[in-house]
C-alpha cells in the first residue's frame, strides 16, 4: 500500500532512520522504503530537499565521504534532531491514541 505522508511526517521518518547511524541519501531512502514495507514509495529525489532543510535547521549534519570511488554526502542526526524526534514521537503517540479512541481501534 502506498501511503501519502503529511507535512512534517517525512522529516520525522528521516530523523528516525538516522538514529540507527549515519547514512547517505541512497541508504536513507532505501531504508525508508524497506522499513515501511514499500508504503512510503515517494519519488526518491524529493527526499534530498527535505534532508537539506533539516540540515539548515541544524537537526542533521552532513559531510562528503569518498567510498568506492564515489563521493557521497553522509548525514547524521544532531542532538537538536534527537530532541525534535522525541517531541515528534510524543505528538504522534497522542495523535494515534486520539484517532484510535474515535475509530474504536484497540491500540
CA dihedral 27, 30, 34, 37 (to 10 degrees): 150
Q: Pairing state of beta strands 60-67 and 70-77?
A: antiparallel
Region of 30 (left: φ > 0; alpha: ψ -120 to 50; beta: rest) is alpha
84 forms part of the interface with other proteins (CB under 8 A): no
Q: Which CB sits closer to other proteins, 48 or 92?
A: 48
Site string (33-52) toward other proteins, x via CB under 8 A: ----------xxxx-xxx-x
CB of 104 to other proteins, least distance (A): 36
Nearer of residues 35 and 52 to other proteins, judged by Cβ:
52
| C-alpha distances in Å from residue 6, one per residue of 23, 59, 68 | 23, 19, 36
The window from 13-21, 65-73, 78-86, 88-96 that contacts other proteins (CB under 8 A) reads 65-73
- How far is residue 83's CA from residue 3's CA, in Å, rounded to a whole number? 26
Which positions touch other proteins (CB under 8 A)?
Answer: 24-26, 29, 43-46, 48-50, 52-53, 70-73
Amino acid at each position: 500500500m502506498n501511503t501519502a505522508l503529511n507535512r512534517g511526517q517525512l522529516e520525522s521518518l528521516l530523523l528516525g532512520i538516522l538514529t540507527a547511524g549515519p547514512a547517505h541519501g541512497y541508504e536513507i531512502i532505501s531504508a525508508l522504503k524497506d522499513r515501511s514495507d514499500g508504503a512510503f514509495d515517494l519519488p526518491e529525489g524529493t527526499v534530498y530537499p527535505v534532508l537539506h532543510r533539516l540540515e539548515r535547521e541544524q537537526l542533521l549534519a552532513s559531510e562528503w565521504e569518498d567510498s568506492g570511488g564515489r563521493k557521497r554526502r553522509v548525514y547524521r542526526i544532531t542532538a537538536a534532531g534527537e530532541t525534535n524526534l522525541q517531541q515528534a514521537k510524543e505528538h504522534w503517540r497522542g495523535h494515534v491514541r486520539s484517532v484510535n479512541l474515535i475509530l474504536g481501534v484497540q491500540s
